[in-house]
Amino acid sequence: MSPDIQLNETQRTVAVAPGSGEPAVQVRLVHHYTALPADVWAALTDPAALARWFLPVTGDLQVGGTFQLAGNAGGAVLACVPGRVLRVSYGGPSSVVVARLDPGVNGGTTLTFEHTVPLTMAGSGAGALSVAPAWEMSVVGLGLFLAGDFVEDPVHWEASPGMQRFARLSIDAWAVAVERSETASAIELSAAVAASIAQFAPDTP
């Protein structure tokens, strides 16, 4: 499946939700894969698989353990329901990522992915644009890996012209999600879009 097709099939939501002690900005992606839940779970949790479509990971990958992604963030494994739910901190204790798998209605697997950070950290719902396009590129990489089509180095692949074009479209789609959520001003959103383009799609028109 091409990245552009996956772009059209991803559901995006941005919301300000209750957090532990303070409001939080939550990014949510929902995407369906034809692969079975067990295969998607293995791709999300097996270090050898993660290195092929995401990043190399080291650490104690059990509840209570900590991990480090090569050249990126680290965190702690907060909760795990094997085959169903993985909850980790990411880059700090107040930044939480949850991946939830459900059997698809017509087979396959539905992935619900959430990244939640305190509103004071995100600034507004527009803060979603600092992480959401990158997560969406990872959703694409996971899909290609599950289909047996992902063979490139993930970091090089994300910086490729084709994926920068994808990121640019993803940024536009997330801007619409932020606008729909009414969690940021027009000025905040415009600035966030510009920063996101510079970060994820610097070589696009």
Residue given tokens 């499946």 in the structure block = 1
* Burial zone of 117 (CB within 10 Å; 0-12 exposed, 13-18 middle, 19+ buried): buried
Reported confidence tier of residue 19, pLDDT bands at 50, 70, 90: low
Using the predicted structure, report yes or no on whether residue 2 has a pLDDT greater than 80. Answer: no
Element (H, E) at 165: helix 161-181
Both tokens of 202, joined, read 């610097």
Residue given tokens 């104690």 in the structure block = 60
Crossing angle of helices 161-181 and 186-200, in 10° steps, is 160
Taking only the tens place, the pLDDT of each residue in 99-148 is 999 998 888 999 999 999 999 999 999 999 999 999 999 999 999 999 99
Q: Is pLDDT larger for residue 85 or for residue 9?
A: 85
**Residue pair 193/173 in contact by the 8 Å Cβ criterion:** no
What local confidence, expressed as pLDDT, does residue 6 receive?
A: 62
* Domains of the chain, start order: 3-200 (3.30.530.20)
Using the predicted structure, report yes or no on whether residue 5 has a pLDDT greater than 60. Answer: no
Both tokens of 167, joined, read 């990121």
H-assigned helices in 15-160: 37-45, 47-53, 119-122, 132-146, 154-158
Nearest-CA neighbor of 143 among 13, 29, 47, 14?
29
Torsion angle, CA of 32/38/40/41, rounded to 10 degrees? 120
| Rounded distance between C-alpha atoms, residue 118 and residue 132, angstroms | 15
Nearest-CA neighbor of 89 among 64, 52, 121, 58?
64
Average pLDDT, the chain: 93
Taking only the tens place, the pLDDT of each residue in 149-167 is 876 688 889 899 999 999 9
Per DSSP, what are the bridge partners of residue 24? 17, 118
**Residue pair 129/193 in contact by the 8 Å Cβ criterion:** yes
Answering whether pTM is above 0.95, one says no
